[in-house]
Structure 1
C-alpha cells in the first residue's frame, strides 16, 4: 500500500515561513522514515527490539534532512537553507523523542538525536549530491549506518543493498515531490 503524504497547503494563498515549511517536511520525513523501517522488516530483515528500530528510523530521518539541504542548495540562500534545515531537524528531534519515550520510557532522546545528526552531517559532507540526487557513496553511507544500527546478524547481512537499491530511491522520490510541492 502506498504511503500518503501531506504535501499541499490547505490555504495555498497564504505565505509560509521557513519554519512552517521545515515542520511540514519533518512531518512527512517522519512518516517516510517509519515506513522504510517497516519495509525492512517486511523484507525479512530483523530488529532485536524497538530501540534498534528507532535507531534505523533516526538514520532515515537524518539522511532526509541532509538530502533536503542538498536539494535546496541552489534554490534558496545559505541563511534560508540553514533556517529551514534547523527547523526541520528540531521538529524531527521532537517526533523522535515523543515516539522513543512512548516505546522505551523516559529519557532525553532529543539530545542524542541532535548529536547523531551533527555527527552524520560531517560524515555526509564528504559525499556528493547532484541534480540527479545523492551519489553512490552518499547512499552507501545510509545503508552502512542502517546496517550498523541493525547489528551484524546473518539475517541483516544484505540490508545495505536493500537500502541502496530500493528503499532510499523510493524515499527520495517521495521526499523530492513533497519538498517541491511545499515550496510551490
Structure 2
C-alpha cells in the first residue's frame, strides 16, 4: 500500500510559524519512518521485538532531521533554522514518547532519542547533501546504524544494501518533497 503524505496547508494564504512547520515535518517524518520500518519487514528482514522496530524508526527520524537541517540552510537564516529544527525534534520526541509508552509501557523514551540525535548529528556533520540528494556516505551511515541495530543474522545480513539502494533514498525523496511543499 502506498503511503500518502499530505504536505500542503489547508489555507495557503495564512502564514505559518516555524513551530507549526516543525510540527508538520514531525508528523510527516514519523509516517515516513514507520513506513520504512514496515518496508523492511515486508522485504523479509526480521525484527526481534517492538523495541527494536522503534529503534529503527528513530534512526530514520535522526536521518530526516539531518535532511531537514540541510534543506533549510538556503531557505531561512541560522536562527530560524535552529528554531525550525528544534521544533521538529521536540515534536518527534512527543511522538516517540507516546508511541513507545503505548508499545513498551511507562518510561522515559524521549531522553535516549535526544542523546542519539546529538551523537548522530556529530557523525552526520561529515556528510553532504548535494543537488541530487544525500551522498553515498550519508546513506551508508544510515544503513550502517540500522544494520548495527538489526544484527548480522542471516535474515538481516543485507539490510544495509536495502537501505542504501532503496529505502533511505525513498525516505529522502518523500521527505524533501513534503519539506518543499510546506514552505511554498
- TM-score band by shorter chain is over 0.9
Aligned residue in 2 for 1:159: 159
- In the comparison of the two structures, how many residue pairs are matched? 184
Asked whether 1:99 is paired with 2:99, we answer: yes
1:74-85, aligned counterparts within 5 Å? Answer: 74-85=74-85
User: Matches of 2:52 and 2:67 in 1, distance apart?
Assistant: 23
- Find runs of 4+ consecutive structure 1 residues off by over 4 angstroms: none
Partner Cα separation in structure 2 for residue 5 and residue 175 of structure 1: 9
Q: Distance in 1 between matches of 2:133 and 2:74?
A: 13
**Counterpart in 1 of 2:63?**
63
CA distance in structure 1 between the aligned counterparts of 2:144 and 2:44, rounded to whole angstroms? 18
Displacement of 1:169: 1.2
3-state DSSP class of the match of 2:66?
helix
How far residue 50 of structure 1 moved from its aligned partner, in angstroms, is 0.4
TM-score between the two structures when normalised by the length of structure 1? 0.98
Structure 1: 5+ residue runs without aligned partners?
A: none
Give 2:132's aligned residue: 132
Q: What is the CA distance between 1:152 and its match in structure 2?
A: 2.2
What's the Cα RMSD here?
A: 0.7
Can you give the 5+ residue segments of structure 2 that lack an aligned partner in the other structure? none
Task: Give the whole-Å Cα distance in 1 for the aligned partners of 2:151 and 2:85.
Answer: 29
State how far apart, in whole Å, the 2-side matches of 1:74 and 1:179 are: 13
